[in-house]
Amino acid sequence: MSRTDRDGESDTIRLQKVLARAGLGSRRACEALILAGRVRVDGRAADELGTRVDPATQDIVVDGERISTERAEYHLLNKPQGYLCTNHDPRGRPRVIDLFPGVAARLFTVGRLDEHSQGLLMVTNDGELAHQLIHPRYQVPRFYRVQVAGVPNRDGLKALRDGLQFSDGYFRVHTARKLKTRGKSTFLLLELRQGRNREIRRMMARIGHKVISLERTAFGPLQLGRLKVGQHRRLRPGELDSLRELIDGEASSRGNRRQSRRRSSKVVGRKRRGGSRPRRRR
């Protein structure tokens, strides 16, 4: 059905990776689709995880629908206020993807900014990379320039850094510092390491300060720079490389930490059993 490693691995890709790139979920979710027998390649069931395919020449169908094998698109957008990050809105409100009328690919946002927020958004059709960038395990830093009513004191900023408990989880900022004051309001620079629903607005309200404006200025290595509100551009090759290096670097660090914990556990286990056996004298 598909070429194997021996038949030319350079021309083929693992099926679950192709499905993830098509926006069907994380690679693990796509593996579940394969194992459930919901995927067919060239008319035949593909229910093995080792299957490799050539998306340029082979017909791939999931639940009876042919998937798109369009080339990967990566865009940086300065999102305006009033636009939604969802691809489907029953009320017909403006959506971020409406700002890309000339792009035929099936785009979606990497993470979300709420309707009343603006700033940097990555927009792509690469489901696998999008899933990795927003997953909490990778701790991708996000920076926000936030204007709030009043002047937060030292205890308030400390509470943001220490973390606040809400009904749907524990929220905290990684760093928080004052930039300037304007009249009866204050501008802050906040760094978060994961995105939650209206997280900043809810934390600021908890310490007694209403958010007046909120703008994301950076996401990992991506910088908003001078990109005007409502405008977008393609990611530069160096920016895309930096995103992938960030993900690969965190995955490597996580693997090293696991190995270190295993070694420590073995050492502790030997000590509890009385240490290693003494060498025999010759």
* Nearest Cα residue to 44 out of 60, 31, 57, 30: 60
Catalytic residues: 114
Amino acid letter, residue 64: G
Strands 175-182 and 108-109: unpaired
**What burial class does residue 86 get, using C-beta atoms within 10 Å of its C-beta: 0-12 exposed, 13-18 middle, 19+ buried?**
middle
* CA–CA dist 60, 73 (Å, integer): 20
* Strand arrangement, sheet containing 44-45: 44-45, 39-41, 60-62, 65-66
* Nearest Cα residue to 194 out of 258, 129, 127, 139: 139
* CA–CA dist 150, 211 (Å, integer): 10
Amino acid letter, residue 83: Y
| HEC assignment per residue over 187-229 | EEEEEECCCCCCHHHHHHHHCCCCEEEEEEEEECCEECCCCCC
Q: Collapsing DSSP states into helix, strand and coil, what is residue 161? A: helix
Q: What is the dihedral of CA 101, 106, 107, 110, to 10 degrees?
A: 170
* CA–CA dist 13, 85 (Å, integer): 30
Q: Give ∠ CA 208-210-214 in degrees, rounded to 5.
A: 135
